[in-house]
Amino acid sequence: MARREFLKALNRSAILNIIKTYGPIARTDIARLSGLSPAAVTGLTAELIEDGLVFEKQEGDSRGGRKPILLALDASHAYVVGIKLAEESATLALTDLNSEVLAQHSVLLTRREPVPVSDLLAEGVRELLRSAQVDHDCLLGIGVGLAGLIDSNAGICRVSPHNGWRDVPFAHLLEERLDCPVYLDNNVNTLTRVEQLYGVGQHVKDFLVVTIGRGVGLGIVANGQVYRGAHGAGGEFGHIVVDPDGLVCNCGNRGCLETFVAEPWLLRRAHLAGLEVSTPEELVAKAKAGNPTAIETLSRAGAVFGQALSTLVNLLEPALIIISGEGVRAGEFMFAPMRDAMAHHIFDRQAERIELRIEPLSDDTWARGAASLVLARIFHAPQLERQAALPQ
């Protein structure tokens, strides 16, 4: 029974993904692309229509017989909420099945303890649904992205340095308050998911998402699957040690990559070099004005960043690297030396085969990424590791 249900879930996800990618599409074409029998496609698409995920659209062009009925995603009856959880605030986004943001809402977090935060977010979700005039029954689920070590399978925040949380079952806390499935993950993994489902990584089996801003994060897609490590702690790129004798990082080690590249550390290094700047924007403005200390601070960060990225390339050989986050505002002051360092340190001309994309983003993009945690459950087949747990 467990194996049969697993295979059915695989087939549902495959059909939904085909409709999302190629729709409007006829059932016969779904059968051809999926390899499923016409009868199986008919039965499963009937369930998807009943669940409000798919609807029958206009007739397609005839191929010599009766015009086929086309199937498309029904974006008007199913919705998802994504939450980007920061220290002092949260950004909420309501999306449809196409990941289009329909409404947004911000919540000021006056408390940092898990229970008060879950209360504030639950009320924020209700307000978001009210303002968008969406019935709660149309909500398929909620995705939450936050910084830290996250056990996404269990919905537990193992460590959140910004909030001071440890072993908090945050998904369960929200589910209790909203009577709705809640999925939790590291915020960089949420961006990785949205790139995989809807962005430039949509047709790439092996790619990386690297974020720079307050910290440095990494999302890994290997052979089409988001890689999290054995216990969900994979991707702590910001805490690889670049200089064992360097500045003491917030994690307690010395010379972590974050201490060279993350924005708070850029400001600190500028101060140590005698330049008084209070915001990353001010540091970049100084560089644009020709200040040599500002230029050197950003250039040094770029060179170290590029050397660290070359290590990732040599280990993983991705086809695509997406660099995003608030820190991309540094522009070519950082990215020109980054590219030079990558070209110098990457093994055997691999740099020539890698597509490098630099993408600015905002809080609503983070929230849209969090929403993709739910959308991934709908469109992507169940994770392969679940197969090992099935009875033989």
* 33 domain residue, yes or no: yes
Does residue 310 share a domain with residue 217? yes
Residue pair 336/216 in contact (Cβ under 8 Å)? The answer is no
Residue 389 has pLDDT above 50, yes or no: no
The structure tokens 């959308």 sit at 375
Beta strand 320-324 with 355-359 is parallel
CATH number, domain containing residue 114: 3.30.420.40
Does residue 304 share a domain with residue 211? yes
Contacts of 301 (CB under 8 A, 6+ apart): 260, 261, 266, 269, 330, 334
Does residue 252 share a domain with residue 166? no
Domain stop point among 74, 104, 138: 74
Q: How confident is the model at residue 385 (pLDDT cuts 50, 70, 90)?
A: very low
Does residue 216 share a domain with residue 327? yes
Does residue 59 share a domain with residue 91? no
Residue 63 has pLDDT above 80, yes or no: no
Does residue 98 share a domain with residue 65? no
* 91 domain residue, yes or no: yes
Domain stop point among 74, 103, 130: 74
State the pLDDT at residue 296. Answer: 97
* 188 domain residue, yes or no: no
In total, how many domains does the chain have?
A: 3
Q: Which two tokens stand for residue 360?
A: 């600015």
Does residue 346 share a domain with residue 223? yes
pLDDT digits (tens, 9 = 90+) for 241-266: 999 999 999 888 999 999 999 999 99
Residue scoring higher pLDDT (63 or 44): 44
Does residue 90 share a domain with residue 69? no
Does residue 241 share a domain with residue 343? yes
* 293 domain residue, yes or no: yes
State the pLDDT at residue 228. Answer: 86
Does residue 68 share a domain with residue 139? no
* 197 domain residue, yes or no: no
CATH number, domain containing residue 65: 1.10.10.10
Please give the sequence-ordered ranges of beta strands (E in DSSP) within 112-235, or none if there are none.
139-146, 149-151, 156-160, 165-168, 182-186, 207-212, 216-222, 225-227
Domain of 176 in residue numbering reads as 79-180+366-379
* 325 domain residue, yes or no: yes
d(C-alpha 377, C-alpha 226), whole Å: 13
* 374 domain residue, yes or no: yes
Q: Which two tokens stand for residue 37?
A: 């029998």
pLDDT digits (tens, 9 = 90+) for 294-327: 999 999 999 999 999 999 999 999 999 999 999 9
* 265 domain residue, yes or no: yes
Provide the whole-model pTM. 0.80
Through-space distance between the first and last CA atoms of the chain, rounded to whole angstroms? 11
State the pLDDT at residue 380. Answer: 67
